[in-house]
Amino acid sequence: MSMLENRTYDEVRVGDTASVSHIVSERDLILFATVSGDVNPVHLDQQFAETTPFKGRIAHGMLSGALISAAIACELPGPGTIYIGQELNFLRPVRLDDEIRIELEVLEKLPKNRLKIATRVINQDGKKVVDGAATVMAPTEKVRLERTQLPEVSY
């Protein structure tokens, strides 16, 4: 079983980085639509999506946001982190089967255990698809625990 280990506010340094990769699947779009209620046909209906400027289906923008959140919660700073705010700029569409890399970089240490973290999503072609910054409250106590194993969900 894999482990999650955080970095406390005192351990984090400006310039620290982490990254996570994810291949966007049909399953992702269906489950995200189910949880969020966002059934915009540009995400779910190929025939409709072909009539849009994107000429095909694209992932929900906030799916990238959720993957950024997961990277912060599980990688940097990790378990115990509390989100304070997030700015996101959607630069390019994310499509089915894209392999995206979520990149985090600590930009600044702020008072009250807060961090400002650059949040970037890069596609398989090396193009930035999302750019932003998060403000989080970093954990103050060290945690190391087993990663929760999620059940398989059919749709």
Q: Tell me if 25 sits within 8 A of 96, measured CB to CB.
A: yes
Q: What per-residue confidence (pLDDT) applies to 153?
A: 83
Strand segments, DSSP code E, in 6-127 are 17-23, 82-90, 99-110, 114-122
Q: Tell me the domains of the chain and their CATH numbers.
A: 3-24+61-142 (3.10.129.10)
Chain centre to alpha carbon of residue 152: 20
Q: Which residues touch 135 (CB under 8 Å, ≥6 apart)?
A: 83, 84, 85, 86, 110, 114, 115, 116, 117
Q: What per-residue confidence (pLDDT) applies to 62?
A: 97
Mean pLDDT of 16-39: 97
pTM of the model: 0.95
Mean pLDDT of 80-101: 98
